[in-house]
Structures are given as structure tokens and as C-alpha cells.
Amino acid sequence: MIDDGLIHEIKNKFPFIKNLKDKNKLDNFMKIIKIIKLKNGEKLLEEGDHCTDIVFVINGVVRVYKLSPEGKEITLYRLYDGETCVLNVASIMSNTPYPATAEAEQEVLVGLIPVSFYNDLFFTEPSFQQFIFNTVSTRFQEVILLIDEIVFKNVNLRLAKFILKKSAENGQKGNLEITHEKIAAELGTAREVISRILKDFEKENIVTLLRGKIIIKNEEKLKRIAEM
């Protein structure tokens, strides 16, 4: 049985729990949920896995990505506090193997509930149904935007947007600590392509490149590239 502090955190992160019509299911949820901890870099799910549980991220960040036979990666989306994985749900609903890899990007606390209890909640509890529908809708929109980025926008533009977005997210505006390989995985391209474009940016005095770090020198010019 999980402690009261964690029960309180789970209720706050997943509001649908408080809105369950059958209050016995609230108690059952807390009894049934299995808590696991992942370290940075540990796999939560791997491509080809047969899912037997639904994933609930209590805290931390999980990156969901696709890996090609040649070893090329592309990030599909990330899971944050209070979220579940739509591909995990889809695999269970269609009884098919998990089609991607889900990996912890930092220390992550995850809750797992078995398929039988998921089905019970989904078919009897409107608040849980809405939670799942919202998840599917959000991820579908994200994947459509990702396809749009990859197919219709050049890498220079996408790289400029990525640098601006990530430097702002990390609270280190003007600086970004990341490898070229990691950027390539995020944008779904080759490391060599990223390195070449960054060197072009450096020649134009837009950025300065250090080992594992990018320093923005001309933010306005980078924004103009991102808006092309």
C-alpha cells in the first residue's frame, strides 16, 4: 500500500481520480497501482513490448521516440507529470506490440495499473474516459505538427526554432547545453547535418559552438531564420 503523501500527489496529478463516480474504485486504484522508479536513461517501454499495464507518469519526464534500423532517432513526444502514453493505450486496445521506445530523461516516478482495471474504468467512468480522449487528442495534434515540421519545413528553420525554444525552456536564455547527436535525434535527421548547419550559423556569428554547448550571439537573426 502506498503512503498518504503519494496518494495525495497522485490525486493532484490525475484529477479524474477525484471525480470517479464509484468511490470504491478510488480505493481500488490506490491499492492496485504499482509504483516504479526509473533513473535517467532507463527504458520504461521498448519497441516490440507487449503491454500489460497502463502507464501514469507521477513526476519526471519520459521521452517517447522511434528508432530506425539504421539507428536514427526521432522524438515523437514527451510525457510529463499527470500524463499517460497514448501509444501504450493504443497497444493495449488493439492488442499489438508497443511501436516505439519510452525512456526516462531524468529520475521518473511512474504508476502502472493492469489492463483489466483500465477497462473497468474506461467503460464505467466518464471522468476517466475524458482523460483518455484528451490524451489522444493532444498527442494526435502533436504528431500532426511533427509531420508538418519534418515534411514541409527545412532543417535550418527547425534547428533555429529548436535552439530558441530549448534555451528558453531551460531557463538559460542564450545558452543551450546539448550535443549535436541529441539535437539530431530530436529533429529526426543526421548528426552530420546538424553539425554542418551549426557551423554555418557560427560563421554568420549567430551562435558560438563549444563542446556540448551552444551560445546564442544573435537572437534576432536566429528568430528570423525560425520564422522563414
Given 99, 132, 151, the domain boundary residue is 151
Between CA 56 and CA 110 the distance in angstroms is 6
**Residue 144 shares a structural domain with residue 199:** no
Bridge partners, 100 (sequence order): none
Same domain? 198 vs 176: yes
Residue 168: predicted pLDDT: 85
Structural domain ending residue among the three candidates 151, 175, 192: 151
146 pLDDT band (50/70/90 cuts)? confident
What pLDDT sits at residue 193? 87
pLDDT at 147: 78
pLDDT at 172: 66
Question: What's the CATH code of the domain at 206?
Answer: 1.10.10.10
- Beta bridge pairs of residue 209: 214
Whether the predicted pLDDT of 153 surpasses 80: no
Cα angle value 144/156/73 (rounded, 5°): 55
Q: How far apart are CA 76 and CA 102, in angstroms?
A: 10
> Are residues 58 and 13 part of one domain?
yes
Task: Confirm if 44 and 55 have CB atoms less than 8 A apart.
Answer: yes
Average pLDDT value over all residues in the chain? 90
User: Over the stretch 164-223, which tens digit does the pLDDT of each residue have?
Assistant: 988 888 766 778 889 999 998 888 888 888 898 999 899 999 999 998 899 999 999 999
14/127 same-domain check: yes
pLDDT tens sequence across 29-52:
999 999 999 999 999 999 999 999
Q: Both 12 and 124 in a single domain?
A: yes
φ, ψ for residue 70, nearest 5 deg:
-85, 0
Rg of the chain over all Cα atoms, to the nearest angstrom: 20
Quick count: other Cβ atoms within 10 Å of Cβ 98?
21
Structural domain for 75, as ranges:
4-151
Is 119 found in the same domain as 179?
Answer: no
Given a cut of 70, whether residue 1 has pLDDT beyond it is: no
Kindly report, residue by residue over 78-111, the tens digit of the pLDDT: 999 999 999 999 999 999 999 999 999 999 999 9
Same domain, 86 and 145: yes
Q: What is the CATH number of the domain that holds 80?
A: 2.60.120.10
Q: Which residues pair with 83 in a beta bridge?
A: 57
**pLDDT (0 to 100) of residue 68:** 82
Domain count, the chain: 2
Residue with cell 530523461: 105
Does residue 84 sit in the same domain as residue 18? yes
**Together in a domain, 38 and 136:** yes
One domain for residues 18 and 39 = yes
Please state, in angstroms and rounded to a whole number, the distance separating the CA atoms of residues 199 and 86.
37
Q: Which of 97, 120, 151 lies at the terminal end of a domain, its last residue?
A: 151
Mean pLDDT (whole number) for 138-164: 83
CA distances from 84 to 73, 78, 91, 137, 185 (A): 22, 10, 13, 12, 22
93 and 105 both lie in a single domain:
yes
Residues 137, 209, single domain; the answer is: no
Report residue 207 as a C-alpha cell: 551562435
Separation CA 38–CA 44 (nearest Å): 8
